[in-house]
Chain A
Amino acid sequence: MSAAPYPIRITALRARDFRGLRGEFELDFDRGLTLIVGENGAGKSSILNAIEWALFGAEVTKKSSGIDERADFEVRHRSAEGEVSVTLELAVDGGTARLRRARLADAKKTAPDELSLELPNGETLEGDEVRAWMEWNRLPDWSEWKHAFCQHQELLRARVTDAGERSTQLARLLGLGEFQDWTTKLRGLKPGRLKKAATEELERVEEEFKHAIEAPGLALREVEDELEERGVGRTELNDAWLAARLEKQVDEARRLTDKLALALEVPEAKTLELESWSRWSRDWERLAQEGCRGLERELGTLRTRIGELESTLNGMEPARRAFEDAQRAWESETQEHGGKEQLGAQLADLAKERAAQVEREKGRNATVALLRHAVEEMERRATGSDCPVCETPLPELREKLVARVEREGGDDERVAREALHARQAQLERQQATTAERRSALDLAKSNFESLGSRLERFVGAGSDPTRAAEEKRREWMKRVESLETVLDESRRFLESGRDERALLELFGRWRTAGNQTEAAAGDLGRVRAWVELQTAIDEAASLKVDLETLATMARAVQESRSREQVERVNATLGTHTDTISPGAGLRVAVKATATQLKYKLVDASGQDAASILNQAALHAVSFAVLFAQAEARAAEGAPSWVMLDDPGQSLDEERIHGLARVIGSVSEKVSVLVATFPGALEAALRRQPNCRVVELGAARVQAGVVIRSVTEGSNP
């Protein structure tokens, strides 16, 4: 924030029933140095308290005010009724502004004060508007006030003895208090905690999230493991995978549906959901099995017919050859020995010949018997050569008869008979052979013709039934092959289809389990609490980064300005310190760390001085720092005044004089309000130019604070 256009200062205090200030109380501060003198209980502190309460309200009275003695004090006078108020008149650009804080005397402690500001132009600001106005005009906040505008006894030594406090005060002294405050405040905000808190919160949510999806996640992993065992990795699982598998299944089913001639409509794969496909595929499987059984029956019939056809075809050639052989054999036989008729005729002739021969033989046998009888009679009668019948002598009759017997009774007839017999036997054999050949021929012919008829039954009558049969056989074989292929493909598809269905149904389970997991997880992007948490974390991160950036920037600027300021301030600080406590020879040194700058008090040799300062020196340095700060503020045109509550404690007379001189010097640039007891400091300050002395009366609670006298210093 840029500097206010006018260095605001307090010019008067108007109080009503504030603590010790009973009724209406007024005090002007229009001189550089206002010295309030009074005994214990005269009301000095009430005046200082009133200024602070008007400026900071409850900040002053609460327990965490940082000044124990002022915490929790009552703001009202014990006798107060109605309203308690304090008004500070401020010299501002354009005239006088009136800052007023008020509350009802019997208001509850938690009830807010009424804060208003009347500007010179008549405009009135209230509440936060007043605080904004104060901030804009660089009026201090409570923290800055108690450290850099006001010397409280409690904080006096801490300003030097506490390293942090000392560094803060030195930074203020260097005009870098804001930077120091920023870095301190920013560090105090501990931006790292934001990250830690956010991280912890995210971890907590993640744990809850994990817990929420644990059970469905377990089921999901089981299905995924099962799928992995089937060779499907979890990263492959998606709708595209399913669509591709379904399409493949449906395409194959469609192809086989046509081949199996199934009466089932095949849907488009793209229109199918897993569940509808599963139902459809079961129907298809049932029909396909029936179709396969039909094909098997057809195949069986076809194979039987092919077997018959092949058997017929295979028999045709041998039958033909047998027929031709029989034909040839029969023809050869008949050509050689004549046919059946010729042989019959021969046999008939032979029979006649044999009959004739039998007759001949019978006649010869009778002749031989007669001749033998004649011979025998001739011998018995011893007739010689007489005829036994007629007894007529016939020379050599007997010899002739014997010769005739021998001739007629010889082997000729037997031989002839045997020749005829043999001839008959031969003819009969030839006849049998011919008959056999004929029979064989008939059989072969019949067989051949029977096969031909069978072929005709397969292929119909035609010029070349064998060829037609061959073609038919090829046609059937092709059909068999086709049917076998379809059956084979169908069986394989049925088998693989069952596996595939099981796999895809497993995919369905995976998807269900996945959906359950997702449902358990919820769509975080739509969960308001999650979105809000994300936003909060983003904001926390922004804040952290901003804080760190600001701290870094503040540190960088502070470091840069520190170098410029140190020398200038050291001169003032040295003067004040030496004036109060001669010989201290202190100066400010800057120590830079990675995150902040620390200011130290060092002696002439550059060694840390705070740790070796005695009580008086501590006080001297503390005042010196406070005064130097005030002067630096005044030099910048910022509001600047100093309020000192009994500053003479722990100082010997020499140092009290030194302090008075410094206060006098400072009051030329800065409004100074000093409250003290009557005594050495009072006397020394009275001698300072520009001093107004306000003497308070003795303490009287019922009457409240009483201003006994107001006297101007030597150089108004």
Chain B
Amino acid sequence: MKPASYRRLTEMREQTDKEFGKLVQKLLAIAFLETGVEALVERSIQGIDLEVTIAGKRFAFEVKTCEGDSLTLGKKDLEGLEREIKTGAEAYVAVLAGGLLDEWMILRYTPGEIPPSKSLSTFDLRPYRNRELERRVGDAFEETLEKHAATAIYKRQKGLDSELERYPARELA
């Protein structure tokens, strides 16, 4: 991640506190839309965080942010992903850690391999990375962050929702 993106994220984290995760989720949604996905559903409350259709294929994402090098996935999160798998989607956990050198980690979720409600090391999750998806969304996310970080900080979720509404591919949850 560029130092500028890191600084933007750090400031966002400092200023938005508990909303940070949701804001990052929406920024990721915008980033996906910027890459030209066919359809995208972003949920702020219940259910899977992001559903994205790329080249006719459905991808489900649980979005997580963490400050250190560990995160926890709740049972409900994993159950949600498992439900998506049953409907034919590929399930992923998208993780953004807060370090200067951290990038998006888009981790393929295979039921049973990631235990719920347990502190997971981002190092241990590396084998599940989908580099292609990471490449696809990584640059777009940094550009989105540059564009909309101020909106995220000053207008919060509503501001980013307004941005999301501009994209025809965005579908209502």
Residues of A within 8 A of B (CB): 195, 198-199, 202, 205-206, 209-210, 213, 217, 233-236, 238-241, 514, 517-518, 521, 524-525, 537-538, 541-542, 544-546
Across the interface, do B100 and A235 meet the contact criterion of CB distance under 8 Å? no
Across the interface, do A199 and B126 meet the contact criterion of CB distance under 8 Å? no
Quick check: which of B3-11, B44-52, B54-62, B73-81 contacts chain A, the rest being far away? Answer: B3-11
Is B168 located at the chain interface by the 8 A CB criterion?
no
Across the interface, do B146 and A518 meet the contact criterion of CB distance under 8 Å? no
State whether A514 and B4 are in contact (beta carbons under 8 Å apart), knowing that A233-B150, A524-B101 are contacts in the complex. yes
Q: Which 8 A-B pairs have the closest CB atoms?
A: A541-B126, A235-B149, A542-B127, A236-B150, A238-B146, A235-B150, A195-B123, A538-B126
23 A-B contact pairs sorted by A residue (CB < 8 Å): A199-B69, A209-B100, A210-B100, A213-B3, A233-B11, A233-B153, A234-B8, A235-B8, A236-B149, A238-B149, A238-B150, A239-B146, A240-B147, A517-B4, A518-B3, A521-B3, A524-B101, A538-B126, A538-B127, A538-B129, A541-B127, A545-B124, A545-B127
Across the interface, do A198 and B123 meet the contact criterion of CB distance under 8 Å? yes
- A206–B125 alpha-carbon span in the complex (Å): 20
Q: Chain B: which residue is nearest A202 at the CB level?
A: B101
Residues of A with C-beta under 8 A to B129: 538
Residues of A with C-beta under 8 A to B147: 238, 240
Across the interface, do A206 and B8 meet the contact criterion of CB distance under 8 Å? no
Q: Which of B1-24 contact A (CB under 8 A)?
A: 2-4, 7-8, 11-12
- A521–B129 alpha-carbon span in the complex (Å): 24
Is B121 located at the chain interface by the 8 A CB criterion?
yes
State whether A209 and B150 are in contact (beta carbons under 8 Å apart), knowing that A235-B12, A517-B4, A538-B127 are contacts in the complex. no
Q: Chain A: which residue is nearest B9 at the CB level?
A: A235
State whether A541 and B124 are in contact (beta carbons under 8 Å apart), knowing that A205-B101, A235-B12, A517-B3 are contacts in the complex. yes
Is B111 located at the chain interface by the 8 A CB criterion?
no
Residues of B with C-beta under 8 A to A235: 8, 11-12, 149-150, 152-153
Residues of B with C-beta under 8 A to A199: 69, 123
Whole-angstrom distance between the Cβ of A207 and the nearest chain B Cβ: 10
State whether A518 and B121 are in contact (beta carbons under 8 Å apart), knowing that A236-B150, A240-B147 are contacts in the complex. no
Is B99 located at the chain interface by the 8 A CB criterion?
yes
Whole-angstrom distance between the Cβ of A392 and the nearest chain B Cβ: 146
Across the interface, do A206 and B150 meet the contact criterion of CB distance under 8 Å? no
State whether A542 and B126 are in contact (beta carbons under 8 Å apart), knowing that A238-B147, A514-B4 are contacts in the complex. yes
Majority secondary structure of chain B interface residues (helix, strand, loop or mixed): helix
- A217–B138 alpha-carbon span in the complex (Å): 23
Across the interface, do B101 and A195 meet the contact criterion of CB distance under 8 Å? no
Across the interface, do B126 and A209 meet the contact criterion of CB distance under 8 Å? no
Across the interface, do B2 and A521 meet the contact criterion of CB distance under 8 Å? yes
Residues of A with C-beta under 8 A to B99: 206
- A235–B3 alpha-carbon span in the complex (Å): 13
Contact partner of B3 among A195, A217, A542, CB < 8 A?
A: A217
Q: Chain B: which residue is nearest A535 at the CB level?
A: B131
Residues of B with C-beta under 8 A to A209: 100-101
Whole-angstrom distance between the Cβ of B75 and the nearest chain A Cβ: 21
- A89–B4 alpha-carbon span in the complex (Å): 70
Residues of A with C-beta under 8 A to B69: 199
- A541–B129 alpha-carbon span in the complex (Å): 11
Residues of A with C-beta under 8 A to B2: 518, 521
- A583–B7 alpha-carbon span in the complex (Å): 75
- A202–B101 alpha-carbon span in the complex (Å): 8
- A235–B4 alpha-carbon span in the complex (Å): 9
- A198–B125 alpha-carbon span in the complex (Å): 13
Contact partner of A234 among B11, B124, B138, CB < 8 A?
A: B11
- A346–B101 alpha-carbon span in the complex (Å): 123
Q: Which of B64-103 contact A (CB under 8 A)?
A: 69, 99-101
Whole-angstrom distance between the Cβ of B119 and the nearest chain A Cβ: 13
- A298–B152 alpha-carbon span in the complex (Å): 50
Known: A514-B4, A525-B138. 18 other contacts (CB 8 A): A195-B121, A195-B123, A195-B124, A198-B123, A205-B101, A209-B101, A234-B7, A235-B8, A235-B12, A517-B4, A524-B101, A538-B129, A541-B126, A542-B126, A542-B127, A544-B123, A544-B124, A545-B127
- A359–B152 alpha-carbon span in the complex (Å): 123
- A235–B2 alpha-carbon span in the complex (Å): 14
- A195–B125 alpha-carbon span in the complex (Å): 11
- A233–B147 alpha-carbon span in the complex (Å): 13
- A538–B7 alpha-carbon span in the complex (Å): 26
Residues of A with C-beta under 8 A to B125: 541
Residues of A with C-beta under 8 A to B152: 235
Residues of A with C-beta under 8 A to B4: 514, 517-518
- A539–B153 alpha-carbon span in the complex (Å): 37
Residues of A with C-beta under 8 A to B138: 525
Whole-angstrom distance between the Cβ of B152 and the nearest chain A Cβ: 8
Residues of A with C-beta under 8 A to B153: 233, 235
User: Which of B127, B147, B149, B152 has its CB near the most chain A CB atoms (within 10 A)?
Assistant: B127
Residues of B with C-beta under 8 A to A213: 3
Q: Chain B: which residue is nearest A235 at the CB level?
A: B149
